[in-house]
Amino acid sequence: MGQRQCCGVRVWFFLALGTARGDERDRHVCGPLSFELDGVVHYLSATRMEAPHAAAAFARRVGPTFFGGGCAAGDTRCVAEALVADLLAACGDDEVETRIAPMGGSEYEWWFAEQDDTGRGTMKVRHYLDAYERHFALARARARAGRRVALLELGVQSGGSLDMWRAVLGPSAEIHGVDVDPRCARSHDPAAGTFVWIGDAGNATFLAHVLAAAAPLDVVLDDASHRSEDMIAAFEALYPSVRPDGGVYAIEDVVTNYWPYYDRVRAEDGLSFVEFAKRKVDELNAWNSEPRVRGARRDRCLTPPLRHRRNGDSHRHGGAPVTDFTRNTSSLHFYDGIVFFEKRPHPMWTRIAVGTDTLDYAFNMNSGTAGEAGMGTVT
């Protein structure tokens, strides 16, 4: 049992016995914290994963008089963040773990935590929120700086996710949603910069109409049918309209590609979206595997190692031709259930080196023999 001052009140907390790791650790209950306010004792406990939501709900419930710890009266977000830190400390987490608790710092996580369950519904896989925070940060920074930002979400359903994008990106962002269900038009609010398009994203004419109003797109999020055929078709149609200087294309719930009872592959060739994305990894690395152009000057700083491209050896490295995708995609990111593509100019890589005091390479990547002196062996 311990005692500490938090948020203007004296806090008593009881450390739960035992230690857990991995999934067990995230489900381990922290607390309870005990607060006496106006003669009434309040208790708060939560798992690590539920800490932000529980703390925000608690801060709202105890009212505007709950303050301190650097927080102004009524600033429930600030109070909730302090409570999360105390909950994790009660679980025995050290300072570093407290600061980088799972999902605890995500703007999207906090949006969910601050909802009172009376608005339009949405449901997201929890670890997606942390990925949003990482990959949509540039779009959010641009929007909050007053620059034009457009997000397109395939799959609107109840409309709660459109409210989430609005809250996180800010009032100046354009939020576009596409859905085949006419009932989703209830979320259409042009005055607020939210546009809902009713139609099939697989219809080229309809999609051209949407893109005429929405492109270029800072973010595309495919949360629609989760069928591989639709996901691949949407990607091929929309990716060229993602802005080339930091735009992001995300595909959610690719877990359906692994479900035997789901329509998980494209009919024409049996290709799932996950396999399609894996092939894009080869295409991203095509600068390193494209067959050498006859007569091209061999510049050790501007072209891939010769060994990678001769006597058919390029096929061992993917053998993908350099495409517009190669030239305009900087990275792919695979998570459990969601894939992100990030667009930036991607020319052939160049090396940068410093210093003259260097050791030999143990292996010459060009000849396949023992290395020669210095960094000059990689040519």
- How far apart, in whole angstroms, are the C-alpha atoms of residue 30 and residue 97? 14
What CATH number did the domain enclosing 183 receive?
Answer: 3.40.50.150
What pLDDT does 288 receive? 86
46 & 152 share domain: no
Task: Examine the domain organization and report whether 144 and 215 are in the same domain.
Answer: yes
Residue 348: inside a domain: no
User: At residue 27, does pLDDT exceed 70?
Assistant: no
Same domain assignment for residues 166 and 262? yes
Confidence of residue 97 (pLDDT cuts 50, 70, 90): very low
- Looking at the predicted structure, is the pLDDT value of residue 30 above 70? yes
Are 80 and 132 found together in one domain?
no
Q: Which residues contact 102 (CB under 8 A, 6 or more apart)?
A: 26, 48, 49, 130
Residues 160 and 239 in one domain: yes
Q: Residue 112 domain-assigned?
A: no
Report for 13-27, 57-71, 157-171: range of highest mean pLDDT:
157-171
Listed residues 253, 281, 309: the one ending a domain: 281
pLDDT of residue 8: 42
pLDDT value at 20 more than 60 = no
Number of domains in the chain: 2
Q: Whole domain around residue 249: which residue ranges?
A: 126-281
Q: Compare 160 and 317 and report the one with higher pLDDT.
A: 160
Whether residue 137 has pLDDT greater than 70: yes
Evaluate whether residue 335 is within a structural domain. no
SS (HEC) of 53-70 = HHHHHHHHHHCCCCCECC
Whether 144 and 261 share a structural domain: yes
Residue 342's pLDDT band (cuts 50, 70, 90): very high
Average pLDDT over every residue of 84-107: 59
Range with top average pLDDT, 110-114, 122-126, 236-240: 236-240
Query: Is the per-residue pLDDT at 372 higher than 60?
Result: no
* H or E stretch at 102: none
52-69 per-position pLDDT tens digit: 777 777 777 776 666 666
Going by pLDDT thresholds of 50, 70 and 90, the confidence category of residue 317 is very low
Q: Does residue 362 lie in a domain region?
A: no
Q: Who contacts 230 (Cβ-Cβ below 8 Å, separation ≥6)?
A: 201, 202, 224
Label residue 362 by pLDDT band (50, 70, 90). Answer: confident
Alpha helices by DSSP H, 9-125: 22-27, 51-62, 76-90, 95-99, 107-114
Q: Is residue 351 part of a domain?
A: no
Q: Evaluate whether 377 touches 364 at the Cβ level (below 8 Å).
A: yes
Specify if 205 maps to a domain.
yes
Q: Is the preceding peptide bond at 32 cis, omega within 30 degrees of 0? A: yes
The answer to whether 108 and 52 are in contact (CB under 8 A) is no
Same domain, 149 and 216: yes
More confident residue, 33 or 233: 233
At residue 186, the pLDDT reads 95
Tokens of 242: 């993602």
Q: What is the CA radius of gyration of the chain?
A: 26
Q: What per-residue confidence (pLDDT) applies to 11?
A: 34
pLDDT score recorded for residue 274: 95
- 237 and 160 fall within a common domain: yes
Q: Among 247, 266, 281, which residue terminates a domain?
A: 281
Residues 94 and 223 in one domain: no
With respect to residue 322, please indicate whether it lies within any of the assigned structural domains.
no
The edge-to-edge listing of strands for the beta sheet with 40-47 is 2-6, 9-13, 29-37, 40-47
Q: What does the pLDDT look like over 239-293, one tens digit per residue? A: 999 999 999 999 999 999 998 878 778 878 888 999 999 999 999 999 887 555 4
Question: Is residue 19 pLDDT above 50, yes or no?
Answer: no
Residues 164 and 214 grouped into a single domain: yes
Residues 189 and 268 in one domain: yes
Q: Which of 281, 303, 338 is the last residue of a domain?
A: 281
Which tokens is 354 given? 């410093």
Which has the higher per-residue pLDDT, 26 or 199?
A: 199
Co-location of 136 and 89 in the same domain: no
User: Once rounded to an integer, what is the mean pLDDT over residues 325-332?
Assistant: 96
9-13 long-range Cβ contacts below 8 angstroms, 24+ apart: 9/35, 9/36, 9/37, 9/66, 9/68, 10/36, 11/35, 11/86, 13/86, 13/89, 13/90
What pLDDT sits at residue 6? 43
Percent of the chain scoring above 70 in pLDDT: 74
Instruction: Evaluate whether residue 231 is within a structural domain.
Output: yes
